[in-house]
Structures are given as structure tokens and as C-alpha cells.
Amino acid sequence: MPHQITLEPSGHVFTVEDGETILNAALREGFALPYGCRNGACGSCKGKLLKGEVDYGHYQANALKDEERAQGKALFCRAKPMTDLVLEVREIGAAKDIHIRTLPCRVQKMERRADDVMVLQIKLPANERLQFLAGQYIDFLLKDGRRRSYSIANPPHDDGLLELHIRHLPGGHFSDRVFAEMKEKDILRLEGPLGSFFIREESDKPMIFIAGGTGFAPIKAMLLHAFASGTPRPMVLYWGVRSRKDLYMGDLVATWQQEHPHFNFIPVLSEPRPEDAWLGRTGYVHEAVLADFKDLSGYQVYACGAPALVDAARQGFTGSRGLPEDEFYADSFVNAAASEEA
């Protein structure tokens, strides 16, 4: 039978379904509780039971000492409610609350979704999970000391594997390797999570998302997180690519549009090809937003893509269209690492 959980001090409330752990239910509903291994081994998810009873599940004795359990503590990655609960827990509200880690990882799956887009699924060692906020990125640490940055495309509640969207830029040090040599089971090293590109949950403003090419990756994570959290905020995604084949997950986004009445999807092609038979929007993606919104003063905008796109969007939206500067959030492919792939 489902049980209701109340978090203190925030007062947040969510429901845990039969057989679910407290942590899984919290993440599924969009509440960022702290965790590490999600396996009863590290103690990062420890919190206090203020009211109610749990089945503590299996865990390692050093992750939750007997005296801690006697004081009412439990590991939320293992514990399942037996009654409604009131819990005291530190919720993650910002990137600064998350520990940045360096971990080895393995290429679990490679899937080419477009001529120049490879979707990598990355697996962390057993007993390791990377806590992150939807929209953040990781750096691959290469043997020669270089770094390559990629946004995490899966939401935190679905973190068994990390999904990354790699765009091939011929001559690019890392992306050439991904497209020419990389194989499943290859081992890499990553650092993360990084960045401050994530949804500001305290706001109730409608959100406009703008993605250029593989800038879709973090926005995919943010939207899936937003859907899971049940936010009623209206959301629209403008995804700008050159031609139809570059909408490498367009079908997926179209299904979201059918499932979520408060979400709208507007693909924008800059160079549609004759065989695209495209009847939709064309031109630059930020100009499509400017054409649709005369007054942006009541919105939040989240943009990810090449620097030219992000700069043009910032200037166009915050000027005469009235978007407050601090309501424009962006992840631009600016550093040397990311620019290889932009």
C-alpha cells in the first residue's frame, strides 16, 4: 500500500509506492535527496525518522551504525516505509551542495542516432552512483591531461547509466576517437557533476527551453525531471538544427508533447533539405522565439548550444523583450573542451 512521506524542514510531501525505497520515490517525484552508492554501502543518504516505521532493508554495518539506528537514523536508499513517515533530511537545493567526484567509468552502449551524433551510455563501477542535478555535465579526463565536457542527458531519478550525446566534429581530438575507435567496454575517467545549468525550482514562471543541436542533451534531462516532478509550469522547447535528420530524438520529444498538455515542442530547421518536405518553422531558433513572444518579462529561459546562439538569445530576449537578466540560464559550448564538439 502506498505511503505518504513528509520531509522536514521543507514540508515537501510525496508518495512511496509498494516495494519502493524512500530515495527512489523521492527522486522519481523530483526531490533531490543526497545519495552516493544507492546500495546501502556509503551512508550518504542517511536521514532521521521523526515519525513512523520503516523496513531498513539490507545495508552494510559501517554505513549505518547500530547506535545511529537506535537514534532514529535510516538509509533512505534501502529503507521502505511501513507507515506514513515524517523524515528529517537535508535536501539538495543547489550545485554547491553536491560533492564533485572523479570516477572511472565504462562505455556500456554506443548508438549512432544521426550521421554526426553518437549517444553513449556510461556505467560507473558497482556500488557507485553520481549524484547530479538535471542539466549538469561531466568532464572526461583524458590521458594527455585534456578534458572534454558533456552534459548528462538522463534525469537524476533514472541514473543507472549516464547518457551523453557526442557530436562529431572531424578533427576533434575526442570526438574523432568516439566515432572511429571507441568500443563498448572501453574505460574512461570522469569528473563531475559540474555546472549551474539546472531548473530553478523555487519559481513558478513558465519556462522556455532552447537547444541548438546536441544542446538538447541537458534539456532532455531537465524536461524528464520536470515531468517526473509533476510541475504544473508551462514549458516549451525550441530545438534548432540544420535539417530534419539532425532532430535525432525528435520522435521522443513528440511523444512528450502528446503525454504532457503543458509541454509544447517547436522544432526549427535552419537548412531544411528538399527531401525533408518540411512544413514547420525555419530560420534561427532564437528568432523563432522572438517571433512568438513579444513580452518575456514573466518567463524563465534555459538555453544550451553554441556560443553564437546563446549570445544572440540573451541579447534578443533581455533587451526590448523584457526578460530579466537573471532569468536567462545558459550552458554555452564555450570552453576549449566543449568547443571541439560544438
- Residue among 124 and 301 whose Cβ is closer to ligand FES: 124
Question: Which residue stretches of 196-321 are H helix?
Answer: 216-229, 250-259, 285-292, 307-318
- Residue among 30 and 305 whose Cβ is closer to ligand FES: 30
DSSP, res 125: P
Q: Residue 16, interface with ligand FES (CB under 6 A)?
A: no
Q: How far is the CB of 122 from ligand FES (least distance, A)?
A: 19
Backbone angles phi, psi at 239, to 5 degrees: -115, 115
Residue 57 to residue 5: CA distance in whole angstroms = 18
Q: How far is the CB of 284 from ligand FES (least distance, A)?
A: 44
Q: How far is the CB of 280 from ligand FES (least distance, A)?
A: 44
Residue 33 to residue 88: CA distance in whole angstroms = 11
β-pair partners for 190: 103, 140
Contact pattern for ligand FES over residues 47 through 86, marking x by CB under 6 A = ----------------x-----------x-x---------
Among the listed residues 36, 47, 192, 195, the single contact to ligand FES using CB under 6 A = 36
Region of residue 277 (left: phi > 0; alpha: psi -120 to 50; beta: else): left
Residue 246 to residue 232: CA distance in whole angstroms = 30
Q: Residue 130, interface with ligand FES (CB under 6 A)?
A: no
Residue 327 CB-half CA count within 13 A: 20
Q: How far is the CB of 19 from ligand FES (least distance, A)?
A: 17
Q: Which amino acid is at 265?
A: F
Q: Residue 24, interface with ligand FES (CB under 6 A)?
A: no
Q: How far is the CB of 159 from ligand FES (least distance, A)?
A: 11
- Residue among 30 and 43 whose Cβ is closer to ligand FES: 43
Q: How far is the CB of 23 from ligand FES (least distance, A)?
A: 7
Footprint on this chain of ligand FES (rule: CB under 6 A): 35-45, 63, 75, 77
